[in-house]
Amino acid sequence: MMTNRFILILTLLTYQKLDAQRSLGLEQYGCISRSASAVPVTRIWYKTTDGGYVEARYNYDAGKTAGLSVGWTFSASAKRYGHLTFTPTIGLMAGGTSAAGLGMNIDWTIGPVEASSIFQSVVAYPAGVDGQCYSWTEVRLEIFRQLVAGIALQQEPGNSWHPGIELAFVAGSWNIPFYVFDPFSKNTWLMAGVSREWSLKPKTAKLKSSTDR
């Protein structure tokens, strides 16, 4: 069962509210290991122009569990340190696991290097169940326009860490990554997926001219 979350060490910058277009994103992953067959993992997010953020997940926090989080995105840019966005979130999970949690999504781009990180800490479980912490971090380097290579690190409950290597193919706005986790152990497992983010441009109203009347 796969749980994805991220941690990233930040450079001290002055943050500001993000001013961007509305966008809609999708991630779909499948995981294959020695102990389990492919498990579909889905994550969908929506960003507003003023920084509002909504995210829906399934099988992402835990098996047969749906999650919904809301947050606000902030950004910082500096010529020397690149472009950074971070989104603190708060959300709920229900289904196989029921809980509430706090999270942070982070993206950092500097030249051909991209780093992303998601972290979530479960802060409110039913009575008798301990809280959990998840993270997922990856750093990617653009080798060619259509090819990206990188490393990843996944943290699972119980402070279990899983390093991995990544190779991703880029076709326009589509990103198709392949991961190998724990490559130097006997419990190597694979993950593949597809992701994309669409910009939602506002429709412009067409004004009637005198010739249309």
Instruction: Using DSSP, state whether 19 is helix, strand or coil.
Output: coil
Tell me the residue range of the domain where 156 lies: 16-202
Q: Which CATH number do you get for residue 24?
A: 2.40.160.40
Position 4 in a domain: no
Which residue pairs, CB below 8 angstroms and at least 24 apart, start in 198-207? 198/23, 198/24, 198/25, 198/173, 199/21, 199/22, 199/23, 200/21, 200/22, 200/23, 200/24, 201/21, 201/22, 202/22
**pTM of the predicted model, to two decimals?**
0.78
Identify the pLDDT of residue 112: 92
Residue whose token pair is 């929506």: 46
Cα distances (angstroms) measured from residue 188 to each of 124, 137, 181: 32, 18, 6
Identify the pLDDT of residue 38: 64
Identify the pLDDT of residue 33: 65
Give me the numbers of helices (H) and strands (E) for the chain, helices first please: 0, 14
Measure the CA–CA gap between 108 and 150, rounded to whole angstroms: 14
Contacts of 81 (CB under 8 A, 6+ apart): 11, 13, 110
Identify the pLDDT of residue 16: 38
Domain count within the chain: 1
Q: Which of these, 166, 69, 180, 43, lies nearest to 115 by C-alpha position?
A: 166
Q: Which of these, 167, 93, 147, 152, lies nearest to 124 by C-alpha position?
A: 93
Measure the CA–CA gap between 207 and 31, rounded to whole angstroms: 51
Measure the CA–CA gap between 6 and 133, rounded to whole angstroms: 10
Assigned token pair, 64: 């047969």
Position 116 in a domain: yes
> What amino acid is encoded at 76 in this protein?
A
Distance of CA 143 to the CA centre of its chain: 22
Position 140 in a domain: yes
Position 208 in a domain: no
Position 102 in a domain: yes
Identify the pLDDT of residue 202: 66
Contacts of 32 (CB under 8 A, 6+ apart): 38, 189, 190, 191
Position 211 in a domain: no
Per-10-residue mean pLDDT of the chain, 213 residues long, equals 33 38 91 64 94 93 88 89 93 86 94 92 66 86 93 84 94 93 88 91 55 51
Identify the pLDDT of residue 23: 93
Position 2 in a domain: no
Q: Check: CB of residue 178 under 8 Å from CB of residue 166.
A: yes
Residue whose token pair is 């950004």: 75
Identify the pLDDT of residue 9: 26
Position 3 in a domain: no
